[in-house]
Amino acid sequence: MAHSERDAVWHGTTIITVRKGGKVVVAGDGQVSLGDTVIKHSAKKVRRIGSGGNVIAGFAGATADAFALFDRLEKKLEQYPGQLTRAAVELAKDWRTDRALRNLQAMMIVADSKVSLVVSGNGDVLEPEDGIIAIGSGGNYALAAARALASTDSDAEQVARKAMEIAAQICVYTNDKVTVETLDAE
């Protein structure tokens, strides 16, 4: 069945965070697709936010929506400095209850030196038990790979990069143009 441009869906990405050995890493691929067409290979879906760049955020979903959420999260971080969990919960509350925000189509992974979280428009603010989270179309592939690699001698960045490589080999909406940001973890 052919899709019209009007029916095309923006697909894909893979974002992962890994906490290991005193480091937290957030990595994301660069592919942006519209339907079955790759629009861009090198989009930057992972970036530092907050004063001093002490929070790393990555998104899956609609780009404009994600940037709107990044801006709102930065404002929450200004309101609650050094309290990523509190800022994320406040963002999730707004996202779920605000009529305009409620329609945003994106998910975020956010991490600082203390915590990694997934934040969604359903009001979810979730922290992984094992320090590994992944979202997006290739998220489950990257998550499985990272969990398998976490018990090896590989450091957090190596685990994240290899997990992204594996996801890119499986998920057609994920590529190998990876952006990686790292922080020291507590």
Residue range 14-72, pLDDT digits in tens: 999 999 999 999 999 999 888 788 888 998 999 999 888 999 999 988 777 778 888 88
d(CA 37, CA 124): 31
What is the torsional sign of CA 95, 65, 103, 132? negative
- Asked: is 5-177 a CATH 2.60.40.10 domain? The reply is no
129-170 residue pLDDT tens: 999 999 999 999 999 999 999 999 999 999 999 999 999 999
Strand partners, 119: 108, 125
**Confidence at residue 102, expressed as pLDDT on a 0 to 100 scale:** 64
Catalytic positions: 13
CB proximity list for 27: less than 8 A, separation 6 or greater: 15, 16, 17, 18, 46, 58, 157, 160, 161, 163, 164, 178, 179, 180, 181
Q: Is the pLDDT of residue 75 over 70?
A: yes
User: Buried b / exposed e across 109-135, counting CB within 10 Å, b at 16+?
Assistant: bbbbbebbbbbbbeeebeebeebbbbb
Cα gap 31→174, rounded to integer Å = 6
If you average pLDDT over every residue of the chain, what do you get?
Answer: 88
Predicted TM-score (pTM) of the model is 0.90
The pair of structure tokens assigned to 162 is 């290899």
Better-predicted residue by pLDDT, 4 or 74: 74
pLDDT value for 100: 66
